[in-house]
Amino acid sequence: MPLNTLPATQGLHLVGAFDTMPGEVAAHEPAVGAVAVVGLGYVGLPTALGLLAAGTEVIGLDVSADRLADIRSGEVDLLPSDLERLERFNGDPRFTLTDDPAALAGARTVLVCVPTPVDRHLAPDLRALTAAAATVVEHAVPGQLLMLTSTTYVGTTRDLLTEPLTERGFTVGEDIFVAFSPERIDPGNAKHTQDTTPRVVGGAGAETMDRAVAVLSRTASSVYALPSPEAAEMTKLWENTFRAVNIALANEFADNCRVLGLDPIPVIEAAATKPFGFMPFYPGPGVGGHCIPCDPHYLLWQLRAERVTSPLVEAAMNGIAGRPHHVVRRVREALGERGRPLTGARILIVGMAYKPGVEDLRESPALEIFEELVHEGAQVRFTDSMVRAARVAGGIQESLIAPQDHEWDLVLVHTVHPNADLAWLSDRDDVLDATYRLDGVEGKETL
């Protein structure tokens, strides 16, 4: 049966691109040629470095001259292994860094890796993706494979690539090829690298899939093929919505445990001993980054246009959106127990990044928590071993180097980086642990 007529429930599990290891090319694989990576952020740059390590020529395109300068100087937030790769490939003639979209014509494959956030109304912000796709279409040449990797709504590949290419006179699937393969990068997590993570790809036609698998297998442990870009787009939405729903549930159960006088962490770890039917998720101060707080809203936005609701997903996302406010409420309660009002209280936030091990502040709950505390009249500062400064409360505030030298009415622990020295908290009794995982602080409270 042709690949593009496979039932939606059926896919092809192509291990290491027909049983080859990442970086190896089977004799019957299509030639990969140069790969252009559009957008060199948290997804695009590691993707480019992985391709380079596999022996692929890479054209890195980014509209930001500052980002290109940071890459050339090595001043970027990457895993240590990727920083080593960047040092090795900076200046390599196989690695072209440019802001000129005309360079795309020299690539056999173009990967679009730009951010897809939501706006303040939780509606998809597609400006970066729309602009990048338009640029790719404008500079497309016959024989290229164009592949989106940015998480988005079902039908984006068709709307932003297939139809505009057809309007330009191309015949998709014959003289140009289009696919969707959602990124699966976990910033700051060395346990899940590209080389050990399977990829999913959807495209129509055997030649499209042969080309896509040949490229993706360069940096993935295996490739799972789907018969359409739409199926691959929905796969990514399902993955991240699954996480969102379970994180919201973990937060809710943690609140229930507090009411009942229980520590939720031992309960979760006990439940996780069941070898089937349970996957541990842990509570915290909220959800940040470029995926969980944003991606499910692409699905909800699209469903609203069809006059359809998804009550469970909506409830989960409402819970996630309200989590920072819950943290502020607990700060107020903790201060009240010590006879202090929130107005005028000196509060330190430990860790502003959205997760341990990264400098990334995108959608970090700490930003919203900081703003709300200031709005309530508190005097707020932060310390973060990986974040030098943050734009908060209408200005730029720098991270405190020696927070233990200041007087605080309450210390809110939001993010604990692997390299953070928090021993000075051990003898304090005014610590509110929003991570639920802080060890060695006897007098702490949790959310």
d(CA 154, CA 299): 8
DSSP 162: I
Count of C-beta atoms within a 10 Å radius of residue 343: 11
42 in Cβ contact with 54 (< 8 Å): no
CA 105 to chain centre: 29
Which residues are annotated as catalytic?
291
124 in Cβ contact with 106 (< 8 Å): no
Q: Answer positive or negative: Cα dihedral of 149, 293, 39, 63.
A: positive
207 in Cβ contact with 184 (< 8 Å): no
Which residue has tokens 């009411």? 259
* DSSP string of 308-349, one letter each residue: ---HHHHHHHHHHHHHHHHHHHHHHHHHHHTT--STT-EEEE
Strand 395-398 relative to strand 109-112: parallel, antiparallel, unpaired? unpaired
What string of H, E and C letters represents the secondary structure of 38-60? ECCCCCHHHHHHHHHHCCCCEEE
d(CA 400, CA 402): 6
Which residue has tokens 């057809």? 166
